[in-house]
Amino acid sequence: MGANESRRLSFGPLDGAAMVGFLAYASCVTAIPICLVAITRDLGLSFSQAGGLEMTKGILVLGTLLFSGFVAARFGKARSIGLACLVMGAGMFLYSFAPSYGALFLAVALLGFGGGVIEALINPLVQELHPEDSGRYLNLINAFWSIGVLLTMLGTGEALTQLVSWRSVMMALGCFSLLSGALFLALKGAGGAVGRESELATVLAHKRRILGLRRFWLFTALMFLGGAAEGAFTYWSASLLQLEHGAGPRAAGVGVALFAAGMIVARLLWGWLVPQSRLWHLLLGSAVAGLAVGIVFPLTDALAPLYVNLFVAGLAMACFWPTLQSYAVDRMACDATSAFILLSCGGIVGFASVSWTMGLIGDWVGLRASFWIVPAYLSVMVGLLLWERRWAPVAADG
């Protein structure tokens, strides 16, 4: 295959729906971090309580992930994602009306259930649409997660600066999620080859086999570390900029938008340039770069250098989630959809747990100190990637 042919990309209607789905999912997830200071002041929450909400949502997402294969087996991937977007939209509406900390938990439950199905099934849908070159398509389509983060941070930061209520922001994004769900339901028959999953017993057998692979647990640890590194910046950067560096909501939104912009640039670039055979090299280089910027970030005082650090951090961490999943499927002889779902569990646990852990550290010694968790995690990630490379290229027994 020549160089020009290898770079030719072909997108269909469900690829477009996946892009919109990632926009909606990212918007609903990341509106909460940029509104977090306003929410904590309005409802009187501590850092650990705010992080605990994200941890609770993460637990619910994790539980939903484990059952998403069975949901897809019954309804198909596209229809399941569409219904999940409707549930997530309902959760955002409830969030906008919550009068107290306790009332947020029902909204968080709906966000967790809806987000879990979306998290579980969008990437397997893309992998099924493009099985021969999934790494490129996954990086490109996952860029729309980062585009959603960027647009949400800029738009919400500006809205809060203009004294728009955080509740109105939640309601508007709930409407967008409902529209995304309607799009998936309208296109549920598109894609030809993308149909229903296997019988439930077969899905369960796939998962049991994957759980018995040693390599799966190594990749799960890598997903945990990568998800945590990304989650640290996504969830707490806006609060850090406001509380430790005196930035307003608009300036805080710009900072996290720059992190998202770095992820967008990198995912589009890696999706265009990096072939499937070079995914490990991309992962190792990104982990080393993320380790370096993770050390610099807590030591930086001025706002402008922090902006630069956030953009570079986005460049470094962009590939972790989609590339680890695609690389892992190549390195394990297993059902791809079940592997994607189970690996996402590791990433979700990392993202959610770091939000809570950093909140605890923030209550004790300040948010700035909590960011030292990023280089600590990424140093372990570098070691695990080097260890994984010593194993056979593909092993049926894990």
- What does the pLDDT read at residue 258? 92
pLDDT value of residue 380: 96
Element (H, E) at 208: helix 200-211
pLDDT at 189 over 70: no
Rounded to whole angstroms, the Cα distance separating 370 from 333 reads: 38
The pLDDT of residue 398 is: 47
Percent of the chain whose predicted confidence (pLDDT) is above 90: 30
Task: Indicate whether 362 pLDDT > 70.
Answer: yes
pLDDT digits (tens, 9 = 90+) for 239-280: 889 888 888 888 888 888 899 899 889 988 887 787 778 889
CA-nearest of 360, 109, 350 to 230 is: 350
Give the dihedral of Cα atoms 359, 150, 61, 221; nearest 10 deg.
-70
Termini Cα distance of the chain? 30
The HSE-up count of residue 195 (CA atoms within 13 Å, CB side) is 4
* Contact between residue 222 and residue 384 where contact means Cβ atoms under 8 Å apart: yes
Per-residue pLDDT of 300-329, as tens digits, reads 988 899 999 999 999 999 889 888 988 888
Distance of CA 136 to the CA centre of its chain: 17
Residues 6+ apart with CB under 8 A from 214: 398
Residue-wise pLDDT tens digits, 88-143? 999 999 988 888 877 788 888 898 889 888 888 888 888 788 877 767 788 788 88
pTM, rounded to two decimals: 0.73
